[in-house]
């Protein structure tokens, strides 16, 4: 038992090459102590415990001595993480959240089993396959709902109009999530929200840009790239997204152990036209989204707007272990093209815009012609763009669109006026 335990522990020690901080003899002595404690627990603890749980717990404790992003994952957690980064999994197509100690459906994904069964936004999930969810977090509930395509899962749903909770029998299917939301809030002005950086983010982003360009009549006047509440994801995808908007130069630099440095560069081929851009960020923008925002800022490709980002300036690698579990290990720090480390500091926006209009800044009502009884109406054609802009309740997005419109009028317009004879 002792030999197998030492071998298992040494797998972790050998994953990342480099000079050990202590002598081999000292390491083996500590492992002997660990094996001795394990033996005492196995033979003398008041209740019988399982070896895998003890070993996994020991590994978790070891990684807690490093940093918050170096973690051990059980086989179930590792499988779930792999599905999240691939953007595809077996499930029923539900987005959920914990709200007031209840598991609430945020929205069913279009054309999925949940959507076709009639599950609605705001529904309360009471049970999953007969198991109560009152003390279950979203991650645990998600793992219960996910499964092999073609298998059955029963969700007990409560809704205001139901006399009592109702069972929905759903057959899981292969769900492929689209990490991109796209729209055109004003004629010619595109909005793209990147929710997370999965294996297909770049691909879906390219498709969204093509569709929006057609909708705009062949040319996008301006783009709002929304990275708010994007927790990050795959470094490779962050580099590819940055490459779409930056023609040349460094996108990101990573520095690992012993100052080992690697740089990722932009390529001119396939770069988007130089239309004006505003990139929205907030405290939920982390990791890969900060890489994109930092590159756009340092290359002066986009105005960064919103509030300071999360400040996760480290890179993790994912390692699969022999028993199906996994290790997420911090291996490097990353730097923006101008050699800025954002660890702890985050990306400071060029223009600070809070989530909502600051109190006291609302417009004071003044009686105008339009308020007078019997006033003459304006016969001119209404400004469609302005009406759509005023209808947007998202203060940060509305401010971003105001900046883009101003650039078109005073930036491009001024340049064109100077070129006229």
Say which residues have a Cβ less than 8 Å from residue 36's Cβ, sequence separation at least 6.
none
72 and 59 Cβ atoms separated by less than 8 Å: yes
Gap between the Cα atoms of 421 and 409, Å rounded:
19
**Nearest Cα to Cα of residue 334 among 298, 303, 360, 361:** 298
Q: Which of 287, 289, 302, 314 is catalytic?
A: 287
Pairing of strands 303-306, 351-352: parallel
> Could you give the angle at which helices 51-64 and 24-44 cross, rounded to 10 degrees?
140
Instruction: Examine the residue annotation and report whether 152 is marked as an active-site residue of this protein.
Output: no
Among residues 123, 142, 298, 314, the one annotated as catalytic is: 298
Tokens of 264: 């990722």
Joined together, the tokens standing for residue 173 give 């299917």
380 catalytically annotated: no
- The single residue of 226, 312, 314, 325 carrying the catalytic annotation is 312
Q: Which residues contact 35 (CB under 8 A, 6 or more apart)?
A: 1, 2, 5, 6
CA-to-CA dists, residue 8 to 37, 325, 397, angstroms? 16, 12, 51
Residue 287 annotated as catalytic: yes
Mind telling me the catalytic residues?
287, 298, 312
């Amino acid at each position: 038992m002792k030999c197998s335990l030492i071998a298992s522990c040494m797998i972790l020690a050998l994953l990342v090459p480099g000079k050990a901080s202590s002598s081999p003899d000292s390491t083996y002595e500590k492992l002997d102590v660990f094996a001795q404690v394990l033996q005492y627990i196995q033979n003398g603890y008041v209740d019988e415990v399982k070896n895998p749980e003890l070993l996994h717990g020991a590994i978790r404790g070891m990684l807690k001595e490093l940093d918050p992003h170096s973690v051990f994952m059980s086989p179930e957690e590792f499988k779930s993480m792999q599905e999240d980064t691939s953007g595809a999994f077996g499930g029923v197509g539900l987005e959920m959240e914990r709200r007031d100690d209840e598991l609430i459906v945020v929205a069913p994904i279009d054309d999925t089993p949940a959507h076709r069964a009639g599950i609605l936004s705001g529904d309360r999930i009471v049970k999953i396959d007969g198991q109560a969810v009152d003390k279950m977090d979203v991650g645990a509930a998600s793992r219960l709902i996910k499964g092999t395509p073609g298998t059955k899962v029963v969700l007990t749903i409560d809704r205001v109009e139901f006399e009592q909770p109702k069972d929905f029998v759903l057959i899981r299917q292969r769900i492929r999530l689209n990490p991109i939301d796209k729209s055109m809030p004003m004629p010619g002005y595109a909005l793209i929200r990147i929710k997370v950086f999965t294996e297909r983010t770049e691909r879906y982003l390219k498709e969204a840009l093509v569709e929006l360009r057609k909708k705009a009549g062949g040319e996008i006047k301006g783009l709002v790239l929304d990275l708010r509440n994007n927790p990050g994801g795959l470094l490779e995808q962050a580099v590819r997204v940055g490459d779409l908007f930056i023609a040349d130069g460094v996108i990101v630099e990573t520095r690992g152990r012993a100052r080992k440095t690697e740089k990722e560069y932009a390529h001119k081929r396939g770069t988007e036209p130089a239309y004006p851009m505003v990139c929205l960020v907030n405290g939920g923008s982390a990791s890969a989204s900060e890489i994109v925002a930092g590159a756009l800022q340092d290359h002066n490709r986009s105005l960064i707007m919103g509030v300071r980002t999360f400040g996760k300036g480290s890179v993790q690698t994912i390692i699969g272990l022999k028993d199906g579990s996994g290790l997420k290990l911090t291996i490097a720090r990353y730097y923006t093209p101008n050699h800025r480390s954002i660890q702890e500091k985050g990306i400071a926006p060029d223009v600070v815009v809070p989530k909502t209009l600051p109190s006291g800044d609302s417009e004071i009502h003044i009686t105008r012609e339009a308020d007078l009884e019997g006033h003459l109406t304006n016969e001119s054609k209404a400004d469609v763009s302005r009406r759509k802009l005023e209808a947007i309740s998202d203060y940060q997005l509305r401010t971003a669109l105001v900046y883009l419109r101003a650039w078109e009028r005073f930036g491009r317009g001024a340049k064109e006026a100077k070129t006229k004879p």
